[in-house]
Amino acid sequence: MTSSLSGKTIIVIGGSSGIGAAVAQAALARGAHVIVAGRRLAPGSDSGLRSEPVDVTDSASLTQLFETVGRFDHLVYTSGPSVRAKPLIETDLDEAQDNFDVKLWGALRAIQHALPFLHEQGSITLTSGQLGRKLAAGQFIKTGINAATEALGKQLAKELAPRRVNVISPGVIDTPAYA
């Protein structure tokens, strides 16, 4: 059986832990060349996984990543901050803005810098979460980020066609972000 990922190059930004790490391992198992990019790269390397540093809040860092990798087939963006639930009155809005800068604006920066290198028939996958649709007290930051990410995915799917843009929205996953 030949995998549809055999010989494809996939960049997983935020792939050093959690969902991103699972995506990277699954793609590797299906024959892809996988580049894991992030600020907190795991020491050492798994066989077959290549690691590249990137800070999604820094355009120069993203430029360096994509110039280093060159042409590739799929971008998976799983970077996201660990956001503590608290009511608006107790929230530091500068901290909230930093959270948006990583998950939402970081995704947009990454996509913008990736486009010259992303195969015309390639794909972009973003991650959202159930809080984009299910409201919970104290979760306005995650709700806002996830709802914006889902809207962004729909808009970019139209704008960037024939490239595919998808947003996956897993439920609660046992990752370090929820420790």
Say if residues 121 and 140 touch (Cβ distance below 8 Å).
no
Predicted local distance difference test score (pLDDT) of residue 42: 59
Residues 6+ positions from 63 with CB-CB distance below 8 Å: 113
Name the CATH architecture for the domain at 14-178: 3-Layer(aba) Sandwich (3.40)
Q: What does the alpha-carbon distance between residue 104 and residue 81 come to, in Å, rounded to a whole number?
A: 10
For the chain, the domains span 14-178
Question: For position 55, what pLDDT does the model report?
Answer: 95
Q: Which residues in 16-25 are b (16+ Cβ under 10 Å) and which e?
A: bbbbbbebbb
- Name the residue type at position 172: V
pLDDT, residue 1, reads 43
> Does residue 136 come out as left (phi exceeding 0), alpha (psi in the -120 to 50 range) or beta?
beta
Per-residue pLDDT of the chain (179 residues; tens, 9 = 90+): 456 899 999 999 998 888 899 999 999 999 999 999 998 775 555 567 899 999 999 999 999 999 999 999 999 999 987 778 888 899 899 988 998 999 999 999 999 999 999 999 999 999 997 665 676 666 778 888 999 999 999 999 999 999 999 999 886 666 555 55
